[in-house]
Amino acid sequence: MGNCCSDVAGGHASIGTTAGDLRHQADTANDAVDYFLRSRGHRGLFSQIELLFSASGLRDRDVLSKSDPMLVLYTKGKNGALEELGRTEVVLNSLDPTWITKHTLIYHFEVVQVLVNCSIKFFHHRFRVYDVDTQFHNVDVKMLKLEEQQFLGEATCALSEIITRFDQSLTLDLHRDDFITSTHSQNYGKLLVHCEESLSSKTAIEMIFRCSDLEYRDLFSRSDPFLLISKVVEGGMQIPICKTEVIKNDLNPMWKPVFLNIQQVGGKDSPLIIECYNFNSNGKHDLMGKVKRSLLELEKIHSSGQGEKLFLPNKVVLNSQLFVDKFTESVQYTFLDYVAGGFELNFMVAVDFTASNGNPRLPDSLHYLDPSGRQNAYQRAIVEVGEVIQFYDSDKRFPAWGFGARPIDGPVSHCFNLNGSSHYCEVEGIQGIMTAYTSALLNVSLAGPTLFGPVISNAALIASHSVANGGRKYFVLLIITDGVVTDLQETKDALVKASDLPLSILIVGVGGADFKEMEVLDADKGEPLESSSGRVASRDIVQFVPYRDVQSGEISVVQALLAELPTQFLTYVRSRNIQPSL
C-alpha cells in the first residue's frame, strides 16, 4: 500500500537560527502543507488487491452430468442496490471448481464494512454461484442472462474479513434465501475466497529532489520552497499524491527522500506534475515553476545527471532547474502486510457527559435517545468508527469511558468506566459500547468541565503497557465532545507524551458549538503541539472534525478521517523499523 513520506533527517540550518527553532518552523510549515495537500483532493492510502475463488461440495443440478458453475461478484452500491463487479469463467462438469479468473478491487480502509445496521449504508461484497446450462456453454459469460441459469447459492462477507486473516483466505457457507426448504439447514457447499495484494501496491520508488536557481518570492528573505507531486487522470485533472517538506529561506533546496508506489501513480509511464511552491503561512502558496514528467523520464533525468528546467503555466521557461539526485525502486511492507502479519487495531472510545449537552430526557439534548430508534450524533459517530475498526481487533473488547459527569453519590469524574464497573473498562463489541452508553445516561448526572487529559492519559497507559509487553497493537481513541476543552495545556502535555506511542486520536465535535479553538490540537491545521516543558510532539496523532449529517450515499466526515489511519500507522512502525511477521 505504500505512501509518500520522509524518514531521513534533512534541511539546511540558516545562520543565526538554532536547530530547534528551525525544526519548529519547518514542522509548522509542513503541517500546513499537509492541510493544503488534502484541500487539493488528496485522500488516504489505498491498495489494489486481487480476489481468487474456489468452491467445494456444490449441489448437482444436472441430470446426466455434474453442474457447470460460474461465480458472479457483487458489491453493495451507495444506493443500497447490488452492483455486479464481474464474472468468472464457467468450469465444466465440476462440484469442486477452482476458477482461474481473478477480480481486481481497490481496498479503502475507511469504507470496507459489512451490513450490520440497516439504517446506515455500508460497502460489502456478495458472491453468487450459478450452474450454466449446456446450451449456453459457447456464449461469452458477459452475455449470459442470469435468470436463465440455475442458482446454486450465495455468500456475503466484508473485504476486511478476508484481509485480516493470516493467510488472507476466508471460507464461507453458501446458502439460498429464495425459498424455504425445511426446518433443517441445507448444505449448498462452501466458497473459498483468497486475496492477494498487487505487487504495484508494494513497489516503491524512492527519489531525492533538489532545485537550483529558484526565484526570490519573499521581500526580505529567500523563498521557502516545497514540492507538490500530482498525477494526471483522464480529462487532464490533477490529483495530488505526495509533497515534500518546506525548506526555509533557500533558493537551492534539497529535500528529504519521498516515496511513491506504482499503484499511486498508475504506472511508470503515467505523467506526473511536479510543482514547486513558495510557502506562505496564509495558505496562498506561490507557484515558482513546474515540470511534467513520468517516472521513466525522471529515472532518465537521474541517470543523465542533468537538470530539467521549470516552466510556468503561461509556458515561460525559467532558469530554475529540477534535479533527481536519487532514484531507486524497491518493495516495501504495506499496511495490509502488517495486518496479515498479526498487527491489530484496537478501538477505544470516550464520551462527553458534560451538562452543556442538555437534559438527555429532552428532544433538544445531544444525548437524547429517540424512541423511534433514530441514533443521536454520539451513537452515529461510535458506529461509523467502530464498525470499521472492529474487523482489525481479534477479541473485540473495547475500552469505553465517559467524562465530565457525576456518578450516583459521587464526585465529578473526568474518566469513568462507561460500563459502570470500578474494576474494568472493556465492553463486548460495538453493541456493548452502545448498551453501556445508554445505561450510563440513566446512572450519571451531567456536570463539567470538559477535560481531555485524564482520558488521553488512560489510553496512553494502555498503549505503553502493550509496547512493554511486546504487543503488536495500534490503538485508536475516539473522543466525542460537544464543547471546547478547558484543560488545554494539560491536554497538550498528554498528547505530546502519547505521540511516541502506537496511538492515534480522533476527536469528533457534535452540536452547534464553535470548535475553532479545538483545531489547535490538530497539527494539520495549526502549529505542532508543544508541552509545558517545551517538548514538541514527535508526530501528529490527532485528527479533529466537527460532525455533520451527510446525504444518502456520501462518505461521512468521520469515515473520511479514518482514511488517515493507515498512514499514521505506517509512520509509527517504519520510524521504529518494526517488521510484520510474514
Model confidence over 293-314: pLDDT tens digits? 999 999 999 999 999 999 998 8
Model confidence over 254-297: pLDDT tens digits? 999 988 888 778 888 999 999 999 988 777 888 999 999 999 99
Strands 503-509 and 542-546: parallel
Rounded Cα distance, 281 and 332, in Å = 34
Q: Does an H or E element contain 293, and which?
A: strand 286-294
57 pLDDT exceeds 70? yes
- Of 26-40, 455-469, 517-531, the one with minimum mean pLDDT is 26-40
- Of 139-143, 377-381, 411-415, the one with minimum mean pLDDT is 139-143
Count of beta carbons in the 10 Å neighbourhood of residue 110: 22
Class of domain 336-576: alpha beta
Model confidence over 482-520: pLDDT tens digits? 988 898 899 999 999 999 999 999 999 998 888 877 878
Rounded Cα distance, 384 and 366, in Å = 17
Are 83 and 76 contacting, i.e. CB atoms less than 8 angstroms apart? yes
Supply the pLDDT for residue 2: 36
Confidence of residue 232 (pLDDT cuts 50, 70, 90): confident
Nearest by Cα to 417 from 399, 431, 432, 434: 399
With DSSP H G I counted as helix, E B as strand and the rest as coil, what are the percentages for the chain, rounded to 5? 25, 30, 45
Query: What does the block give as the cell for 407?
Result: 456518578
560 pLDDT exceeds 70? no
3-class DSSP state of 548: coil
Domain residue spans of the chain: 47-178+185-199, 203-331, 336-576
Confidence of residue 17 (pLDDT cuts 50, 70, 90): very low
Query: What does the block give as the cell for 403?
Result: 467524562
Q: Does an H or E element contain 569, and which?
A: helix 565-575
Average pLDDT estimate for 403-415: 90
Query: What does the block give as the cell for 509?
Result: 465535535
Query: What does the block give as the cell for 305?
Result: 545527471
Rounded Cα distance, 329 and 349, in Å = 40
Cα Rg of the chain, angstroms: 27
Return the half-sphere exposure (C-beta side, CA atoms, 13 A cut-off) of residue 76.
Answer: 20
Which position has the grid cell 458534560? 354
Greater pLDDT, 283 or 362: 362
User: In CATH terms, is domain 203-331 a member of 1.10.3720.10?
Assistant: no
DSSP assignment, residue 46? E
Q: In what order do the strands lie in the sheet with 308-311?
A: 238-243, 225-232, 271-278, 286-294, 308-311, 317-331, 203-212, 258-261
Confidence of residue 403 (pLDDT cuts 50, 70, 90): very high
Supply the pLDDT for residue 128: 66
The letter for the amino acid at 135 is Q
Supply the pLDDT for residue 533: 94
Greater pLDDT, 69 or 186: 69
Supply the pLDDT for residue 187: 84
Average pLDDT estimate for 205-234: 86
Rounded Cα distance, 280 and 514, in Å = 26
Whether 47-178+185-199 and 203-331 share one fold: the answer is yes
User: Can you name the CATH fold of 47-178+185-199?
Assistant: Immunoglobulin-like (2.60.40)
Supply the pLDDT for residue 223: 85
Query: What does the block give as the cell for 265?
Result: 501513480
78 pLDDT exceeds 70? no
Query: What does the block give as the cell for 501?
Result: 506511542
Greater pLDDT, 11 or 466: 466
3-class DSSP state of 439: helix
Confidence of residue 461 (pLDDT cuts 50, 70, 90): very high
Model confidence over 151-209: pLDDT tens digits? 888 888 888 888 888 888 999 998 887 554 444 457 889 999 998 888 777 888 999 99
